[in-house]
Structure 1
């Protein structure tokens, strides 16, 4: 894993999630921009997953608990699709965009925690 990439991912997702949440607070309907933000979030997590499989094989494993790391990563992979499904079910509702924004913010926090587990926490 590359430390600055994980931190950039956490910061970037925090900004994207914050913007989507603010848009959601203005009660704008769920649209393509929100869907693109969720897709970008999921794409970064898929890249993270591939890197998480390759890094230990190359000898750069985590300093923390590997099970805890993978639990965070799998949970983070589930949040964006679940938030989008919720938003699509409640597409005419006024809170659907906010749900996706909060989901992306949650993923940003989880990515930061995964960074701590991989690089900082000692087993």
Structure 2
């Protein structure tokens, strides 16, 4: 999860910088959001399988799943916003900030799963 958070942080920062440069929403920005979504889907599958294999979280399971479900909603919402506002100046920045938010949430999920003691 730390590698995932780091990668998403880099992708989000790159997309945000492109957005601050007022570049329009394009396929590369969409690919960044798609990568974020793909990593979250893989994490969801792993989060279902891990407790069945005996490797559950050390923190609150409800808090973990709340973060994960919320994080799963952010990339599609940011892309939808960007597609609706495709001619706008801030569409790309919205996607970048969304990916950065997901990176922070993934880091927090790592803390809940591995670091906290319930």
List aligned pairs for 1:1-123, cutoff 5 A: 6-123=1-118
TM-score by length of 2: 1.00
Please list every run of at least 4 consecutive aligned residues from structure 1 whose deviation after the TM superposition is greater than 4 angstroms: none
SS of residue in 1 equivalent to 2:88? coil
Instruction: Work out the CA distance in 2 between the residues paired with 1:11 and 1:36.
Output: 17
SS of residue in 1 equivalent to 2:25? coil
Runs (5+) with no aligned partner, structure 1: 1-5
Runs (5+) with no aligned partner, structure 2: none
TM-score by length of 1: 0.96
The alpha-carbon deviation at position 101 of structure 1 amounts to 0.0
Equivalences, count: 118
Instruction: Work out the CA distance in 1 between the residues paired with 2:45 and 2:114.
Output: 17
The alpha-carbon deviation at position 66 of structure 1 amounts to 0.1
Instruction: Work out the CA distance in 2 between the residues paired with 1:14 and 1:80.
Output: 13
